[in-house]
Structure 1
Amino acid sequence: METLPAEVLRCVFDRLHWRDLLAVSSCATWTRDVAARDERAWERRCRERFTASELSRLTTKTEEEDREARASSASSASSAPRSWRRLFTRSVRDAVDAIDASRPTLIVTEYNEPTHYSRVRWAFSRCRDLALADLREFILSPNSSRPGGAQTDPDPPPTLLVLAGMTAILARDHASSSTAVVDALRAAGAGAGDAAAAADARDDVGARRVKVTTWTLGRLEGVGFRLRDDVFVVEGSLESLARDNPNDVWKRLGRGIRHETRDMEIVVVGPRRAHWWSALGGGGGGGGGGGAEVRP
């Protein structure tokens, strides 16, 4: 393979998935050089992976970080030139790091227990730059490979982690992203091949239900008079919320507790705990226990 012309190697590398390309480029110096120098191929991968708005935002973010690095360095030569490969790999690395850091915080121990927004604020902020491809590959596809070749957690993704990824995308532009997010949820909900596995609730990510309660400050009327505070309650499946966006729920989740929002709670809706007397034959009283998030 080492004897092949660089043009032939580029044609071969051009047909590889980006994970395989990064793995091959780490095998030897000459493979890394061939893969890294093909900026046209990396530009194509960037345009295929990111939407136009995501690519514009990533480019602006990278340029700002480069300016800050040059300003803090004694020599401007220490800053690397703009590179499509660097933009791609930095975005993937940042997404994986944000998801890995946020996952433990976003696992709930019991269904139907209110989670105050202050508990998940940090994790939601870490995930605010996720792209749609990151939601598909690193959150909704538990068996996909990571850049380093490791496997993601085989357990189903925590519902709040899915919600954080959806918030990052839909809060930026719900109108243009909702259809793609719904398609990603449906693809993740296809489950295994047989009907029994597909009917398992943990395989149907889009059918998971959440309830978001928001307390907002009443607006001012005249001098020294304020209308009463309002409470907005939104409940539904992740797919229905992604499609309909009731009460502008994604903007509210994206902003968090600020401006007109004075408080917020999120509930992962699941089976109700059975009453203690139901074991004594005292009626239906709700089915199933609370259960942990990792096994919806």
Structure 2
Amino acid sequence: MRLNDERESSNIEDRRGSGGGGGRPLKIGGIGGVLLILGALYFGVDPQVVFSLLEGGEGTSPQVTAQAPTAQDDAGKQFIGRVLASTEDVWTTYFQAMGRTYHEPHLVLFSGGVNSACGYAQTSVGPFYCPTDQKVYLDLAFFQELQNRLGAGGDFARAYVIAHEVGHHVQNELGIMDRVAHLRTQEAENGAGGLSVRTELQADCFAGVWAKRADDAKRILETGDIEEGINAAAAVGDDRLQKEMQGRVVPDSFTHGTSAQRVGWFRRGLASGDIHQCDTFSASQL
């Protein structure tokens, strides 16, 4: 990616080295809660433990001893700052064209554990967006897992992860999360065609919209970048993760969509650059 000359966002909160301090277990509920299940699969945490917490069960939030940031971590922070700034530019312009105001999210870097308005989280939950405080939370250690364990390396793979989480913020800004919360009382949340899957696939599509518009504006993409993003989207499909973790695929427990679906909706946003092409909730076929 060509980001070396781009500005860095001022909306980054660096809490690395603090250890998070413990607190009540992370409980996002609704849309945000499904992000935890994917994080559990990423890091080998028993998803049933996460489901217990989401349902209000008791859990422990141990103190986590975090390491101070390294030079490599600082380079990672710089990269994240530039990607976040790019999403700010794209979505601010897009919202202006719709006659709306885009309120930029903050991105919290943490190591080991962190307190959020949605509760306490450890690295094992993976990146997540908390709609309550409108912040994205990310431990840089996740990118090593993405590359080493899931085989999805490269700078654009990392950018895709950030853009996906920001995509949830865009959903929040557009009122989509509130509407989905209402629909949850009427429709199934999980499963192959459930609300959770549709919400996550739309965030993938929004990530593609960002990439298309950012590249049109500043030519940030290089040869191989798109392939890295597609590889990352495929690596985190429910079917692939379930096959890896438990040796079988259970569509009724899907929360994010299959590898093919995630790649397909990311490609759709990338090809169109239009959020109106990302209406997963009306799609008869995902």
TM-score (norm 2): 0.32
Structure with max Cα Rg: 1
